[in-house]
Amino acid sequence: MKRKLSLFSVVCSLCLIVFFSCKNNDGKQGSKPLYAEPLTTDEALKKFELDPDFEIQVFAAEPYITDPVDLAFDENGIAYAIGMPDYPFPPKPGEEKGNVRVLLDLNKDGRIDSSVVFADKLSEATSVLPWNGGLIVTAAPDILFLKDTNSDYKADIKEVLYTGFYKANSEAQITSLRYSVDNWIYANNRGQAGEVSAPDEPNVSPINMQGADFRFRLDQKKFEQETGPGQFGQTINDWGHRFFTENSIHIQESVIPWRYTHRIEYLKNPRAIINISDHDPIMYQRTETPYWRQARTDARNVNFKKQGSKQIEYARDHFTGASGGTVYDADAFPKEFYGNVFTGDVAGSLVHRDILTLDMQSPVYTAKRAAGEKDREFLATTDSWFRPVGFTVGPDGYLYVIDYYRQHIETPMSIPDSLKKDMDFMRGSDMGRIYRIVPKGKKPVTDFAKLSSMTAAQLLPYLGNGNQWYRLQAQRLIIAKQDQTVVDALKQTVKTTNNPLERLHALYTLDGLKALDAAAVKIALADATPGVREHGVILAERYPELAPEIGQIAVNDPSTRVSLQATLSIGNAKNKQLVRDVLLQVAEKYGGSNPWYKTAILSSPDGSTTAFFNALMDRKTFFNEFVPDKGALVEDYASIIAARNNSQEVASLFKQMDAAALAGNPGWKYAIIKGMGKVYRTGKIKASPATLSAIEKLRTSPAKDVADTVAKYLKIKEAKK
- The model's pLDDT over 603-662, given as tens digits with 9 standing for 90+, comes to 999 999 999 999 999 998 999 999 999 999 999 999 999 999 999 999 999 999 889 999
DSSP label at 196?
Answer: E
Summarised one tens digit per residue, pLDDT across range 466-478 is 999 999 999 999 9
Name 224's bridge partners. Answer: 215
DSSP label at 115?
Answer: E
Last residue of a domain, one of 388, 407, 442: 442
Residues spanned by the domain of 22: 1-55+230-442
Question: How many structural domains are present in the chain?
Answer: 3
Same domain for 314 and 380, yes or no, is yes
Distance CA 234, CA 245 (A): 7
Q: What are the DSSP calls for 346-393, one per residue?
A: TTTTEEEEEEEE--TT-SS-EEE--GGGSSS-SEEES-TT--EEEEEE
What is the predicted pLDDT for the residue at 10?
34
Pseudo-torsion of CA 498, 500, 503, 509, nearest 10°? Answer: -140
The helix/strand/coil state of 507 is helix
> Does any domain span residue 458?
no
Distance CA 290, CA 385 (A): 11
Distance CA 231, CA 224 (A): 18
> Does any domain span residue 147?
yes
Which pairing describes strands 350-357 and 379-381: parallel, antiparallel, or unpaired?
antiparallel
> Does any domain span residue 435?
yes
Same domain for 88 and 131, yes or no, is yes
| Mean pLDDT for the stretch of residues 362-382 | 96
Three-state secondary structure readout of 158-178: EEEEEECCCCCCHHHCCEEEE
Distance CA 505, CA 493 (A): 10
Confidence at 187, pLDDT banded by 50, 70, 90: very high
For residues 570 and 578, the answer to whether their CB atoms sit within 8 Å is: yes
Distance CA 212, CA 254 (A): 11
Phi, psi of 69 (to 5 degrees): -125, -10
Same domain for 376 and 395, yes or no, is yes
Summarised one tens digit per residue, pLDDT across range 504-519 is 999 999 999 999 999 9
Over its C-alpha atoms, the chain yields an Rg (Å, rounded) of 28
Distance CA 200, CA 188 (A): 22
Phi, psi of 46 (to 5 degrees): -70, -15
| Mean pLDDT for the stretch of residues 409-417 | 88
Cα 622 to its chain centre, rounded Å, is 34
Give the residue with greater pLDDT, 298 vs 6.
298
Closest CA to 49 of 266, 269, 287, 257: 287
Same domain for 49 and 75, yes or no, is no
Cα(first)–Cα(last) distance of the chain, in Å?
A: 41
Element (H, E) at 568: helix 560-570
What CATH number is given to the structural domain containing 123? 2.120.10.30
> Does any domain span residue 119?
yes
Same domain for 188 and 287, yes or no, is no
> Does any domain span residue 714?
yes
Which pairing describes strands 48-50 and 379-381: parallel, antiparallel, or unpaired?
antiparallel
* pLDDT over threshold 90, residue 191: no
What is the predicted pLDDT for the residue at 19?
40
* pLDDT over threshold 50, residue 106: yes
For residues 405 and 1, the answer to whether their CB atoms sit within 8 Å is: no
Distance CA 132, CA 650 (A): 53
Q: In terms of C-beta density within 10 A (0-12 exposed, 13-18 middle, 19 or more buried), how is residue 440 classed? A: exposed
Summarised one tens digit per residue, pLDDT across range 287-346 is 999 999 999 999 999 999 999 999 999 999 999 999 999 999 999 999 999 999 999 999
Last residue of a domain, one of 181, 201, 221: 201
What is the predicted pLDDT for the residue at 30?
59
Length of the chain: 721
Q: How confident is the prediction for the chain on average, in pLDDT? A: 92
| Mean pLDDT for the stretch of residues 91-115 | 95
Distance CA 238, CA 253 (A): 14
Same domain for 144 and 270, yes or no, is no
Same domain for 293 and 404, yes or no, is yes
Closest CA to 140 of 189, 100, 186: 189
Confidence at 705, pLDDT banded by 50, 70, 90: confident
Same domain for 29 and 80, yes or no, is no
The helix/strand/coil state of 106 is coil
Same domain for 712 and 691, yes or no, is yes
Same domain for 667 and 690, yes or no, is yes
How large is the greatest C-alpha to C-alpha distance in the chain, in angstroms?
A: 88
Element (H, E) at 157: strand 157-163
Same domain for 15 and 109, yes or no, is no
The helix/strand/coil state of 486 is helix
Last residue of a domain, one of 422, 442, 462: 442
DSSP label at 455?
Answer: -
> Does any domain span residue 100?
yes
What is the predicted pLDDT for the residue at 33?
85
Task: For residue 88, say if its preceding peptide bond is cis, omega within 30 degrees of 0.
Answer: yes
| Mean pLDDT for the stretch of residues 142-153 | 96
* pLDDT over threshold 70, residue 718: no
What is the predicted pLDDT for the residue at 720?
63
For residues 598 and 633, the answer to whether their CB atoms sit within 8 Å is: yes
> Does any domain span residue 465?
no
* pLDDT over threshold 50, residue 133: yes
> Does any domain span residue 330?
yes
For residues 427 and 33, the answer to whether their CB atoms sit within 8 Å is: no
Same domain for 285 and 349, yes or no, is yes
Calculate the alpha carbon distances from 279 to 231, 336, 377 in Å.
20, 20, 13
Distance CA 234, CA 185 (A): 12
For residues 459 and 477, the answer to whether their CB atoms sit within 8 Å is: yes
